[in-house]
Amino acid sequence: MRIADSVIVVTGAGSGIGAGLARRFVAEGAAAVEMVDRRIGPARQIAAELGPAAHASAVDVSDEQAVAGLVARVLARHGRIDLFCSNAGLTTGVALESGSQADKAWERAWSVHVLAHVYAARAVVPAMIKAGGGYLLNTASAAGLLTSPGDAPYAVTKHAAVAFAEWLAVEYAAHNIKVSVLCPMGVDTPLLMEPLAQGNEGAKAVAASGPIIGVAEVADAVMRAVTSESFLVLPHPEVGSFWAAKAADVDGWLSGMSRMYQRSRGSD
């Protein structure tokens, strides 16, 4: 697809990767970029910097009615949505602990990483079919192909996000709906850098797995994938080799991951 002249929605656009994507889409000549975030302040500020093509909306993507309302508003204003980027996300740092706080973290991860993608697709796919096609870009993570030491809800729900994107791609190919799934490793955003600064073990393992790249590099990879309509977006190309190595020898890959995690925790 062409980004120029497109109408685009980006969730989680008040920070990090979502903000980087919104900036890049405006720079590439998008007709309109709807910047969605639960926290409206930063999204509004960036939209104001980006000029009239950008607009900010306060939406909690885990609220189905709010997502449906967002899609209806953008369709009413612009007549179409060419690209919907479901990108909002969070980390939990939860392992096997029990109790209501841990259960809530599992529910939050499921709502934001999986159900939010479902709610967006439910709301926007019928309009895309009517328009003769469209594009969904869902942000998962390398954790959705590999794993995420120190954060079980993150690893599990990001796998589900990849699975849902695959399902969408198969189910709606005949309607000319293209799907990409974005699977970076470490990216320099608050989601990774804040826990890393606090010495979080999972964040340390991400940092030990490969380079921490900037959001502009992620936007470059997204531009390449969306313009060539490729499903898998790997801003860290080595994730493709790790994934292939996992498929070829799961036991070897599990031992390697666990050695790497122990080393990053300083216990090897």
Ligand X SMILES: NC(=O)c1ccc[n+]([C@@H]2O[C@H](COP(=O)([O-])OP(=O)(O)OC[C@H]3O[C@@H](n4cnc5c(N)ncnc54)[C@H](O)[C@@H]3O)[C@@H](O)[C@H]2O)c1
Q: Which residues bind ligand X (CB under 6 A)?
A: 11-12, 14-18, 37-39, 60-62, 87-90, 112, 139, 141, 184, 186-187, 189-192
Q: Which is nearer to ligand X, 189 or 264 (CB)?
A: 189
CB 213 within 8 Å of CB 172: no
CB of 54 to ligand X, least distance (A): 15
CB of 198 to ligand X, least distance (A): 14
CB of 98 to ligand X, least distance (A): 24
Active site residues: 154
54-58: strand order across its sheet: 54-58, 32-37, 7-11, 83-86, 134-139, 177-182, 232-233
CB of 63 to ligand X, least distance (A): 8
- How far apart CA 143 and CA 157 sit, in angstroms, is 9
Spatial CA neighbour of 182 closest among 230, 124, 216: 230
Q: Which is nearer to ligand X, 18 or 149 (CB)?
A: 18
DSSP 8-state assignment for residue 15: S
Q: Which is nearer to ligand X, 146 or 177 (CB)?
A: 146
134: three-class secondary structure by DSSP: strand
Amino acid sitting at position 232: L
- How far apart CA 255 and CA 245 sit, in angstroms, is 12
Q: Which is nearer to ligand X, 12 or 153 (CB)?
A: 12
- How many Cβ atoms from other residues are within 10 Å of residue 94's Cβ? 20
Strand partners, 213: 187
